[in-house]
Amino acid sequence: MGNNYELYKVFYWAAKTGSLTQAAKALFLTQPSVSHAIKQLEDRLGITLFYRNSKGVALTHEGAILYSYIEQSQILISRAEEKMASLKNLESGELRIGGSDSLFKHYLLPYLEGFLQKHPGIRLHLNHGTTPEIIAFLKEGRIDLGVVRMPIVDSQLKVTESIQLQDCFVAGPRFAELKNMVLSFDMLLQYPIILFSRNSRARMAITELFESYGYKLKPEIEVGSVDLLIEFARKGLGISYVTREFVSKELEEGSLFEIQLDVQLPPSHVGIMIMRNMPLSISASRFIELVR
Per residue in 142-185, pLDDT tens?
A: 999 999 988 888 999 999 998 899 999 999 999 999 999 999 99
Give yes or no for a contact between 38 and 10, defined as CB atoms under 8 angstroms apart.
yes
pLDDT of residue 277: 85
Q: Please give the distance of CA 72 from its chain centroid, rounded to a whole number.
A: 34
Name the H helices within 46-108.
Answer: 61-88, 101-103
What percentage of the chain exceeds 90 in pLDDT? 74
If DSSP codes are grouped into helix, strand and coil, which group holds residue 209?
helix
pTM (predicted TM-score): 0.70
**Which contacts (CB < 8 Å, 24+ apart) does range 109-112 have?**
111/287, 111/290, 111/291
H or E stretch covering 193: strand 193-196
Please tell me the number of Cα atoms within 13 Å of 226 on its side-chain side.
21
* Closest by CA position to 202, among listed 268, 250, 133, 155: 268
| pLDDT for 252 beyond 60 | yes
- Where in 19-151 does DSSP place strands (E)? 50-53, 56-59, 94-99, 123-128, 145-149
- Over residues 240-264, the mean pLDDT reads 95
Kindly give, in sequence order, each residue whose CB lies less than 8 Å from that of residue 207, ignoring residues fewer than 6 positions away.
Answer: 217
Domains, in order of start, for the chain = 4-88 (1.10.10.10), 90-292 (3.40.190.290)
Per residue in 83-114, pLDDT tens?
A: 888 778 788 889 999 998 889 998 999 999 99
CA 26 to each of CA 12, 34, 38, 78, 99: distance values in angstroms, whole numbers, following the listed order = 11, 11, 15, 14, 50
| pLDDT for 205 beyond 60 | yes
